[in-house]
Each structure stands twice: as C-alpha cells, then as structure tokens.
Structure 1
Amino acid sequence: MVMIVLSGRAASPKSSTPQNVDVSQRHLNESEEAIAVNPTNRNNIVIVTNIGHREAGLTAGMFEGVSFDGGATWTTRIIGNNDNLGDACCDPSLSFDEYGNLFMTYLYQVENVVPIALSTDGGLTFSVIANIAAPPKTTGKKAPGDNRGLFRYVDQPTITAAKGEVWVVFNAAGPMFATGAPVSGLGQVGAFFAGEVVPGSNNCTYGDVAIGPAGQVMQACNLTTTGQGGGKIFVNVDPDGLGPMGFGDRVFVAETHVGGFDFIPPQPDRSVDAEVGLAWDRTGGAHNGRVYAVYTKEQKNESDDMDIYVRYSDDDGATWSEGVRVNDDNTKNSQFLPKISLDQTTGNIAVVWYDSRNDLGTGGAGDTDGIPNDDAQVWGAFSTNGGTSFTPNIQ
C-alpha cells in the first residue's frame, strides 16, 4: 500500500492527526514515493512509486495514482511496464510547473540514460520527451567537465520545474550531472542542453534541485566517505539558470555523520542517507529568495540517534543559517528520510519524515515487536516564520 496524508494547507497548519488514505489499495509494498500538486488546480495530486516487480509478477513498472478531488478518490494504474514509457525500474521524481505541465523522471531497468516524461493532462497520460545521455566531449554550451567514465551507471534522478525552466540532476557514475530546458507554456518544452558535470561533486549523491525567483538553479548532494558515516552536505548554484554561466564551486552546508548506506534498526536492509532536500521561496513575500535545506543529522556517528534539521540561506547559498531541529521528541530514537515542501502562495514550509520516537520496546502504539527503535511512523511539522521554528509535531 501507499499512504497519503490529507490535511489543511500550510497556510493554516493543524495540530490534530490528519487522515491517512491508502491510495494504491494493493496488498504489496510500494517505496520511494514521489508526490506533486498542480499549482493550476490544487485538487490535482499525482503519486508515482516503486513497486516490487517480482512479487507483482512484472518485469518492469511503477505505480501511479491520480486525483482531481484533493485526494478523496484516485485513478490508479501501473506505468512503465514496457509501454510508451519503456521498462521503468524505479526512483521516480515528479514536478508540476506554473503552466500545469507535469514532468517525471525515473530510471530504466538496464539503459544508462535518464528519461524525461511529460504529461499535459494532470498525470493521466505521459510521453517521453527526452532521454538524457552522456554528452559529447565538446558540448558548445556550458562547462563540459571531464566526461571520462560518465554514465557507466545513473542513479536517483530528481526533477523540478518553475520560472519557465525544467531541470534534472542525477549521479552519473561518480559526479552529479545536470541539464535543463526552457518551457513557454502547456506542452511547450524546448530541447534539453547537452548537460554539465557539477563541479566538485564526485562521490556526491542523493541530490536535489531547486529553482529560485530569478531563474537561478541550486543543486544539493550528500558527500560521503563511507557507507556508515562521514556525510557532508554541499550545494552548487548556477546563477543564470539556462544562461551560459554554469554551476559554480561547491559550498559546504552541514555535517551529517550519515553515510551513503547507513544501516539503522528501522532500516536494517535498505539503509538510509541524509536525504538532503531543497525548497526555494518564490512568493515575492517576506522571505522571497530564501532557500531551505532539510537533512538528517546523526548526533554521534553510529549512535542511530538521528534528527531532522532545516537550514536556510538568503544569499543564493553562499552562507547558511544554523540548523533548526524539526522533530520535538526527547528520545534518542531515529528520525530519517525527510522531505520538504514550500507553499508558493504563503511561503510556509512543511517537513515530513519517518520517526521511531514511539517505539520504546515496551509495547503499545508505535511498537510491534517489543524491540526498541525498529518501527517507524510518518510525522510532520510546519513553519510559518521562515524556518526559524516549527510547530509541534503531528503524526
């Protein structure tokens, strides 16, 4: 099953427990969910997730749910099961733009290219509009970087669209790789440029990308020295977006102590990473231009005492605030895999994450087996003051 939480908008956060809805109604598992809300019709919500192919009797595919009534009812299907989207493996990412275009990226089963798909009907249908492949040795646009060894594999693509641009970043067998395209209206998407290696991003993974109010672009990633610790968050900024300048040097944001494959009791098989995420305020309001970074911090390496933090920058990522702890529990249990979203009408932000605070190993709600810190629930919080503080957490 895949669950979605229905609650009020970030403009009026609620302290009561929101309603959980099983979107997929499948008895099998989904994972790595991507969710997008259409800014031209906020009742239009789309979810795409991984599915277990072998368990489902499939060789490829992802689950998709589409709602046009704010999540009350859903149209569901399997996509990318050797249909017009190809042989989809996993790692979906979604983004609506201001025109109502819905962009999706994901991974193929075998091919070492990254597909970009477009929907102009709210997610009911998609078509592949580009396959991002290794650039030629001389691109003629942007900084080509060192292309040797690129695209031996590709991993965790992330897509975002706003301000007449769509961008995707992913790990291209070592460094982060970025490309973008102009957008002028519904279904009006130009060609993606040949792409560029992000400077100083070798072995930096699990990235995100955001677009600022002037069309500038930031990518963030987690640089790890081992699977179990040593993680650091870095960002790079392209100050003119689709213009000729390209991404600048990396800027340090935070130490995380979270490795690239950090195994913790609630995630003993699949592990976790710091899962950095970005949100850029384009509201024109009090915090216009402020960019937020959410991430996981392990208080002491290998302690499993992980917490969720948010930092912000008011100078396009050149400097960052101190981290603000989002989870408000008093335990040393694990909080992990956060996501952040910003309401572009109010500037309010919401953060959600997995949380083991209620698993003390003593039974009751939050504990299924009498073992502490190996069960997790979904929790969240809001900020209405530019990320300087967060509301009491809700589950």
Structure 2
Amino acid sequence: MNPPFPGGFRACAEASRVAALALLWLGATALPAADRRPHEQPGDPPAEAAALPRDRGPAAAFVVGEFESVQVNVDADGLNVTGDAANEPTLAVSPLDRRRIAVGWRQFDSIASNFREAGLNVSLDGGHTWEAMTTLGDGVFGSDPVLAAAHDGTFHYTTLHADPYWTEVYRSLDDLASWEAPVYAFGGDKEWTAVDRTQGQGRGHLYQAWDYAGCCGDDWFARSIDGGASFQSPLPIATQPFWGTTTVGPAGEVWVAGTHFGYNTFSAARSTNAQDPSATPSFDLTSGLNLGGALVFNAGSGPNPGGLLGQVWIDIDRSAHPQRRGWIYVLATVDPFAGSDPHDVHFIRSTDGGLTWSAPVRVNDDTVGNGAWQWFGTMSVAPDGRIDAVWNDTRNAQPPSGYQSQLFYSYSEDGGSTWSPNVALSPPFDPHLGWPNQNKLGDYYGMVSDRVGADVIYAATFGGEQNVFYLRIGDRDCNDNGVGDATDIATGFDTDLDGSGIPDRCEADQDGDGAVDALDNCVAIPNRNQNDADENGAGDACDVFSDGFETGDSGRWSQSVP
C-alpha cells in the first residue's frame, strides 16, 4: 500500500514557477515560437540496409524470476542484426485471436545514422516467437509509431512523417498477413491513435491527437468514421494538451490528456459526440490536472537526455464493477514538486466523469529521497478494471542516482487507491548505450492488459545496443475467462491435444471468420465484426433476441434459431 503523494511544494523558486504556469493556464502568457520547436526531425540520410555489413548473432532471452524478455527485432531465423537500433516501441493484440500480436518501433538501420523508419514485426503464437522484422515504407522516414487493434481484428499502424509534419495509417485486414497502402491522416508530432471497440455508434472509429508541430496549425484532433479508410479534417482541442495519449470510454466518449507549454500543468479533454458520425466533434469538458510535478524532456542529462522521460497516459475502467466502471485514470512520469527525487511515477483518478480529480499518488515504492530515477511510466487497464503500470527504475543502481535501469511493475485492484509492491521484471541495462546518432531510447513503451496479465513491449540495451523486447506479465488468457491457460488445461476446463500449451479452442476457428472459437460470440456463423447490439454475449448473427426482446416480453424475434 502506498500513501498519497505528500503535499507541499519546493520552496520559493518552485512556487514562482507554479505561479507563472498558472498564468499560462489562464492564457496570460505564451512561450515564444522558438520553444514550439518539433522534437522529431529528420537529420541524416537513410542508411541503406542492403549495403551495410550485417553480422548476425543470437537473440538471447533475458529472464528475471518468472519474467522472460524476448527480442522482437530479429531476422527470419530469429537472430539479432548487429549495428542497427530499435526504440520507442508500441504494440496491439487482436481481440479475435490473442495469439496475434503486432509490434512497431523506430527502426535505425545503422547507429551511424539517425534516419528512422516504421519498424514492424508480428507474433502468431502469443509472443513466444516472432517472424522476420520489416519496415513499412523502406527508405521512408517514419517515427512515433502507434498501433491499435479494432473490434474486427483490423490492425492500424500510425507513423509520423516530417518536413512537413503529417501522419499516415497502415491497415492490416487479414490477420497480419499483409498491410494496405497507407492513408493520409493529417496529424503531427507525438500523435496518439485510439480505436472505438464499444458496441455503440462509434464502433470502429479511429481518433488521433497530436502536438503543435503538425499539419494544421491549432487543429490537433482528427477522426476516421470508416475504419481508417480515410480521415476527416482536423479540429481544435481548447486546452491543447500534448505529449499524451487518447482513449475511448465504455460509452464511446473520447478522452485526450497531455501537458502544456511550461510542462507542469496538465489537462484532459472529453468529447461525447465524436462517436456520432453525423456530428462535428467538439470537446464538451476540459479538466485541469495536478500530477504533483512537471514533465521533463531534452534535459541534457539523466537516463534519456535527448527525449522525454515519459508521456501522459489516460485510460478508463471498462469493467462491470458497479462503482468503478467509467472511472478515469491518468499516469505520468514527473519531476516531483516536493522532495529531492529526480523523477517519480504519479497517478491520479476521477470518479465523477472528469469533473474532479484525486490528489497524486506515488506508484513507485522505493525510499523517498534516494535519488533514483523512475522514467517511461506506462499504464493500461484490464477489462476487469485492474490497473497495470510499468516503468524504468534506477533504484538498484550504485548509486541509485546513476542511470542503470530495470523495468519495474506494479498494479492496483482498487481503482488506484493502493498499489502492489513493486517488482523488477528485467535485468539492468545502460540506457546510454547504442544511441543511433541521437541520445535517447525513444519517448515511450507500450502495454496491453487482459484479465490475467499484460503484454509489454519495451526497449533496452542488454547486448550493448538498442533492441526491442516483448515480455508477458502473468500467464496468458487466450479465452478471456480470467483464468490462465495453464490452469485451464491442468483442470480440464480446456483440452490441449497438440501439447502446445495453448487451449485447443484458442487454435480452432470452425466458421473461418478469423475469430477463434474461444473468443467468437457466434461460433458457427461467420461474424468477424462480432457485433452484439444488446451486449448479452451472443453475437447478432446468431442471437434470437438481437432486437432486445427477451423471453416473456411482448414483441417478435428478429431471427429464428439458426
């Protein structure tokens, strides 16, 4: 259990900074244009991968206790390619078949060049093994990758182009076998994309927000209402939050969170009508946030001197919990106003739809004042409401104020009031190794939570170079019943005739619609979209009560029994 973050501010200098930022929040000041510089800029020319000498070596797994980190940026033989770099990873998991995972990252073909591309690899067995890495758009600048998976198993990969700034989105409609040509998505630097997986009118919509270095002036938000085939013209968000994330709540509401110029004020903005395809999206609620510290970037020192120490994460409880459903959570790595620690992971929540917010809670449980860095704080929320957080941590370095980092983990099962004892997931690594002609490890990591655990993607330098690693927290839960696969097999709940460790129902697809039987809400009738209008667990394609009438009601059935 962690106490709430202690109140109070650093002495006068910090009070002055807070006062100045209060004026900024009220619109009384503005930073000069020079401080609005973009932070993703092309520099070196591309390094032609085919012309580079390419030694291969083992891509070793790194194990700490029960946690195994598996390298993702590998060739067709599962080998590491030396002399390149990979960082700033993102991932998405198919809701139709959890064996299918896509990972994106910034791919540098040579550490002698900071030119990067949209790196990609996929796993078809739940992260145990990985195919051959590739790039989307060979020789094309690509940065700030963001992956999202839709309700029908469509994968969306957003990537940033620069000079001028804009984004494009690639789609995979065939279970990661191929990717369509990219679609122009307006966009800009530090973009984040979310997809609506509710059963509401916004189902399948994509929402994207970015920062001041973008295509379209002060218009920082765009949506797609046709599943990513096209994007509508962007619109403004009043408080202009940036360097954060976007998410969709259980009622189809869209939330964007981020920081502002000055970096120690934050806000969250909500749109309830973006889900309506006939409406012009607007943000009907904006909330100022106090995270108890400031966001830091390009510090010139620290573990990630040329990048962010973390971005602002927002997510929502989508569980059936009678009190917590709809609660809104925000987590960020901040330089705390109180105390001498350089960076901590702080968490806040709203229990009333964003009208009010809690005091910050310190998630990392190391000794306050030990000088340790907690950075790249990352959050995701499981379908049952559990909140997962991972971050890099130097508490075990000698001294703790050094930069040797390990990936750490904590979770909360009570809406963020208390957090589990922190656990190290990875061996230590030096984040200052393997820089690809720029001094950072990227700006963020990625994580997707389920009822049993979480899929994590992160960058580290275990072999002396930047690589991307997949790590599973907890057992896998391919049938989404909240019980680990190993337990389901051991108890006889599921069979495993081929001895793969994966329940047979998670490998079978009797109607051939791409949704494995264990997750298909209509097993015998193809229904890849998995629509379930009354949300009773039976897909509309085979639900005799899909018009909302139940046994004993007056009215008529919309379908006969298949």
> Could you state the TM-score of these two structures normalised by the residue count of structure 2?
0.56
Q: How many angstroms does 1:170 deviate by?
A: 0.9
Task: Find the counterpart in structure 2 of residue 156 from structure 1.
Answer: 190
Whole-Å separation in 2 of the counterparts to 1:5 and 1:332 = 30
Change (3 A) 1:294 1:212: same
Task: Find the counterpart in structure 2 of residue 148 from structure 1.
Answer: none
Change (3 A) 1:314 1:200: same
Contact 2:194/2:207, CA 8 A, preserved across alignment: yes
Q: Which amino acid aligns with 2:211?
A: N
Change (3 A) 1:32 1:274: closer
Q: Structure 1 regions of 5+ residues with no counterpart? A: 8-14, 134-150, 362-366
Contact 1:35/1:46, CA 8 A, preserved across alignment: yes
Change (3 A) 1:335 1:252: same
Contact 1:157/1:170, CA 8 A, preserved across alignment: yes
Higher mean alpha-carbon deviation, 384-393 vs 89-98, is at 384-393
Q: Which amino acid aligns with 2:81?
A: R
SS in 1 for 2:191: strand
Q: How many angstroms does 1:168 deviate by?
A: 1.0
Task: Find the counterpart in structure 2 of residue 216 from structure 1.
Answer: 253
Q: How many angstroms does 1:175 deviate by?
A: 4.4
Task: Find the counterpart in structure 1 of residue 303 from structure 2.
Answer: 266
Map 1:1-395 onto structure 2 (within 5 A).
16-24=65-73, 25-27=80-82, 28-55=84-111, 61-82=117-138, 87-128=140-181, 130-133=183-186, 154-162=188-196, 163=198, 164=203, 165-173=205-213, 175=218, 177-182=220-225, 189=228, 191-201=230-240, 204-225=241-262, 230-243=263-276, 244=279, 245-248=281-284, 250-255=286-291, 256-268=293-305, 270-286=306-322, 287-300=324-337, 303=340, 305-330=342-367, 331-344=370-383, 346-361=384-399, 372-395=401-424
SS in 2 for 1:262: coil
Q: Which amino acid aligns with 1:22?
A: Q
Contact 2:211/2:242, CA 8 A, preserved across alignment: yes
Q: How many residues align?
A: 344
Change (3 A) 1:381 1:76: farther
Q: How many angstroms does 1:378 deviate by?
A: 1.0
Contact 1:80/1:88, CA 8 A, preserved across alignment: no
Q: Which amino acid aligns with 1:375?
A: Q
Whole-Å separation in 2 of the counterparts to 1:114 and 1:324 = 35
Let me know the Cα RMSD of the aligned residues: 2.9
The share of aligned pairs that are identical, in percent, is: 22
Q: How many angstroms does 1:284 deviate by?
A: 2.8
Change (3 A) 1:314 1:34: same
Q: How many angstroms does 1:105 deviate by?
A: 0.7
Whole-Å separation in 2 of the counterparts to 1:353 and 1:177 = 28
Contact 1:328/1:392, CA 8 A, preserved across alignment: yes
Q: How many angstroms does 1:215 deviate by?
A: 0.8
> Could you state the TM-score of these two structures normalised by the residue count of structure 1?
0.78
Q: Which amino acid aligns with 2:266?
A: I
Change (3 A) 1:4 1:119: farther
- Which is higher, the Rg of structure 1 or of structure 2? 2
Change (3 A) 1:302 1:75: farther
Whole-Å separation in 2 of the counterparts to 1:357 and 1:17 = 20
Q: Which amino acid aligns with 2:274?
A: G
Change (3 A) 1:128 1:292: farther
Q: Which amino acid aligns with 1:212?
A: G
Q: Which amino acid aligns with 2:71?
A: D
Contact 1:181/1:242, CA 8 A, preserved across alignment: no
Task: Find the counterpart in structure 1 of residue 76 from structure 2.
Answer: none
Change (3 A) 1:99 1:23: same
| Structure with higher RCO (Cα < 8 A, 6+ apart) | 2
More strand as a share of residues: 1
Change (3 A) 1:6 1:223: farther
Whole-Å separation in 2 of the counterparts to 1:72 and 1:210 = 28
Q: How many angstroms does 1:376 deviate by?
A: 1.2
Superposed CA deviations along residues 341-371 of structure 1, whole A, max 9, x for unmatched, are 1122x2212111111111123xxxxx8xxxx
Superposed CA deviations along residues 304-349 of structure 1, whole A, max 9, x for unmatched, are 52111121122332211222221111133110111111122x2212
SS in 1 for 2:244: strand
Contact 2:296/2:335, CA 8 A, preserved across alignment: no
Q: Which amino acid aligns with 2:69?
A: N
Contact 1:207/1:222, CA 8 A, preserved across alignment: yes
